[in-house]
Amino acid sequence: MKLLFILDPLDALVTYKDTSLAIMRAAQVRGHTLWVCGQHDWQLQHEVVTVDAQTFAFNADGSWKTSDKSSVSPADFDAVLMRKDPPFNNEYLYSTYLLELAQQQGARIINDPASIRGWNEKLSVARFPQFAPPFIVTSQQDKILAFLAEHGDIIVKPLDGMGGSGIFRLRKDDPNIYAILETLTQFQTQTIMVQRYIPDIVKGDKRILIINGEPLPYALARIPKTGETRGNLAAGGKGVAQPLSTRDQEIAITVGKTLKQHGLFLVGLDVIGDYLTEVNVTSPTGMVEIAAQTDCDPAIVMVEALEKLVA
């Protein structure tokens, strides 16, 4: 296969744990050709989408080499994998438009750009109310305060972040309630997600990877460090791989069927206790940690699934 990866700048990737690089290593080992580009290497001239991309190959010592960039057609690749990290801002939105046009011109884009655009990673739990904790989505302070009064312990978070950024736990006696809500909602002009706090977070925020509709057998439980509410690895959480529970399997299998129908090939579900809290469709991670702790190598599973899709 000839694969193109849309990445953040190469020098910004954390080499030893980056999921995109893990997939690329697995693909190279299996004899596939790698190309890379950035979000702003895409352009539309008249009606034709092109991309300025460069070849990429790992050296024996784990470093890599790249060629000079050249203008190529996205349709020349067997698959184009969108792996740009959030935030999902206007530039991300514009990228999905260009990718959708490229798709219409014959490119195979993973994940489907219209679905990336349509599946907000926080709001998408509303598609599966049977699995979601109590929540509201609003910018209005009085509604958030009423939700806090009802539940006593809540989580508030922006709709476009990643890695735990901007997430706060609020209780009725918190002296900073108003300051936090003013900051997050930008004085009631920014819509946020508000969820009931789930005490099982102490056991980990479980990342379940779904590949072409099928869940991996292990989740990565991201356990918060002492004194921290967030389990995100970027916030200092400890990743512990563990087999899916019966409830995890129920959530993953049910959600996975819908994800596949929408062209969402690689997705990371976040599950706390028995509740689905997020559906990560942009650049889900956790493959390296699962591979290091179990007999399952998610990157190989991913590449094998791509091979079947292309075949």
Q: Which residues are catalytic?
A: 122, 157, 207, 222, 230, 270, 278, 280
C-alpha 180/C-alpha 246 separation (Å) is: 37
Query: Which residue is it, tokens 């079947």?
Result: 308
Say what the alpha-carbon torsion angle 187, 190, 193, 199 is, to the nearest 10 degrees.
Answer: -40
Peptide bond into 215 cis (omega under 30): no
The single-letter code of the amino acid at 115 is S
C-alpha 282/C-alpha 161 separation (Å) is: 11
C-alpha 12/C-alpha 54 separation (Å) is: 17
31: left (phi over 0), alpha (psi -120 to 50) or beta: left
310: left (phi over 0), alpha (psi -120 to 50) or beta: alpha
- Closest to 59 in 3D by CA, of 76, 34, 88, 90: 34
CA pseudo-torsion sign 117, 118, 119, 123: positive
Say what the alpha-carbon torsion angle 81, 83, 88, 94 is, to the nearest 10 degrees.
Answer: -40
DSSP H helices, 74-218, are 90-104, 113-118, 141-151, 177-185
